Amino acid sequence: MKESKKVHDLDSNLEKILSVLEIKSGNESCWLTATDISKILFDDYGIHVHWKTISSILLKNTDLVIRRKRKLSWQFSILEKGREFISRTVRKINVIDPENSIQNVITFHDFLSGLGDNIRICDPYLDTNTIEHLDSCKDGVKIKLITHNIKDSGRLRQLISAFNRSKRHIEIKKTPISVIHDRYIIDDKIMLILGTSLNGFGKKQCFLIKAGKDIRSAMLNNFKKHWSTSNPWP
């Protein structure tokens, strides 16, 4: 069916399904039903894949996932072979290891310095570390950042003011309630999904994934929706 092959810059529904299992599991075991995965794909990314299709795909790929029966329903968890499969397909940038935090931060700052002129960031947490990372962005950039949990301080406000005086501009909005949980960066061309907030980058193991163009488009629309209902800060 044509619709089943319409993917968010991935080659198959299998890759989308494995991506969900990997993102939700992090570094720990996570068990999801086909219904759970279908709901996550639709709610978080605007992708519709029927749960029966998901179940059928996973039951045919037992080398990539493990399954168990709970309350008459199959639950699935990704195997290491599945992680390797999706890593090749989705172009995972890195798994951040705290033991190599200095090199990881340097690499991440190189990435930030190469972003386009218009940057949108969704991150539930904001403090001085966030702005210090963003200070690696090039001159001329315009950043829109949506957050909710702000560790307010004089130092934070000073950093924001200094940033806006340095041929760059950052505009921050706070959601009225805690409705954002995803962490991502979108510029004019790409989207990067973060496994941790910017203020904790390099402090614990996490992943960074480049998302496809269609996922970027869906999340950009989601960002605009939250932006329109959030309040300027400070």
Q: How far, in Å, CA of 86 to CA of 69, rounded? A: 24
Residue 195: partners with Cβ closer than 8 Å, 6 or more residues away: 23, 26, 96, 183, 206, 207, 208, 209
d(CA 124, CA 69): 35
What's the confidence (pLDDT) of residue 101? 63
CATH class of residue range 3-89: mainly alpha
pLDDT of residue 206: 65
- In order along its 234 residues, the chain shows pLDDT tens digits of 333 333 344 447 888 888 888 877 765 668 999 999 999 888 876 778 999 999 999 999 999 999 999 989 999 999 989 887 876 655 444 555 556 667 677 778 888 888 899 999 999 999 999 999 999 999 999 999 999 999 999 999 999 999 999 989 999 999 998 888 889 999 988 888 887 889 888 676 666 778 878 888 889 999 999 999 999 998
Strand partners, 126: 150
On the question of a cis peptide bond just before residue 234, with omega within 30 degrees of 0, the verdict is: yes
CB 186 within 8 A of CB 119: yes
For residues 173 and 145, is the Cβ–Cβ distance under 8 A?
A: yes
**pTM for the whole structure:** 0.61
**Where in the chain are the domains?**
3-89, 92-233
| Identical fold, 3-89 and 92-233 | no
CATH superfamily, with its number, for domain 92-233: Endonuclease Chain A (3.30.870.10)
